Amino acid sequence: MEGKNFGSRLSTARKEKGITQEQLASRLGVTPQAVSKWERGGGYPDIELVYYLCEILGCSSDYIIGLEEQNTKLTEDNDAAAAKKLLDKVLAEPLVIEAGIGFVDLLMNEYKNQFPSIRSLRENMAEQYGVLLPVLRIRDNERMNPLEYRIQAYDQILYSITLESMEGVTFADICRQLEETVLIRFDKIMNRQMLQTLLDNVATRYPAAITGVIPDKLSLSLVQAVLCGLVVRKKSIRNLVKIIEILEDEIGNTCDAAQLTLLVQTKLDF
């Protein structure tokens, strides 16, 4: 990292986020003087702090340390941080937890401990339901009620609650609600990229299950609709090979996704 370059990028990203040096320092657990020193080019944060710094400022580590340049000019002054902010705004994210400032300490603890609750949730959902949890974006929002948090998918609010107090609340509690929300609203969360990742995994391990079947006989949209239908019924899709085989057998009888979902569920439960 080149000192002045790093300091300039840090200052720009912080100002774009609309937070003061004091607020950034508080959330990182360092002194305001340390942040000021970094921005003046007089030093750098410890490497483990860079991850949390980027999470707070909503930028990549490549950008903040000066490895990433924006190829396309998106702003009049070609400001990289402003360009990234614009790109973030034009693409809705598949899964977001947004919370009032009363949750900041809770969120920071999860960051500092390298997301243990999220890792546990991700593994549990894969093992129990065959679901790959999309990348989760976590952010605080000063405009929200301090004790409110909500779960969103592609800018649509799937769940929202305002607590009476933070006493006894843990991030694991939020993750339990997140799991329930993802399952019952999976049709709002799953995208074609997530589906393709599942199918690529099958193709690698059991190529005969995919070759000549998807998309030749079964369209991606139909497979996605059936898998979503199963998950929202809290049925595991781990036996994806069998699900594809059932769909291949039944597609000659009906192309209706709802009917196929019920047929698959019945045969999997048998």
Instruction: Give CATH for domain 192-269.
Output: 1.10.8
Domain 96-189 in CATH 3.40.30.60: yes
Contacts of range 167-172, beta carbons closer than 8 Å, 24 or more positions apart: 169/106, 170/106, 170/117, 171/106, 171/107, 171/109, 171/110, 171/117, 172/117, 172/120
In the chain, where the domains are located: 3-90, 96-189, 192-269
Query: For 57-110, what is each residue's pLDDT tens digit?
Result: 877 777 777 655 434 454 555 566 666 666 666 668 889 999 999 999 998 888
Pair 175, 106: CB distance under 8 Å: no
Question: What is the rounded CA–CA span in Å between residue 156 and residue 33?
Answer: 40
Compute the distance between CA of residue 254 and CA of residue 69 in angstroms, rounded to an integer: 51
Confidence of residue 45 (pLDDT cuts 50, 70, 90): confident
* Span 10-31, pLDDT tens digits: 888 888 888 889 888 877 777 8
Question: In CATH, what class is 3-90?
Answer: mainly alpha
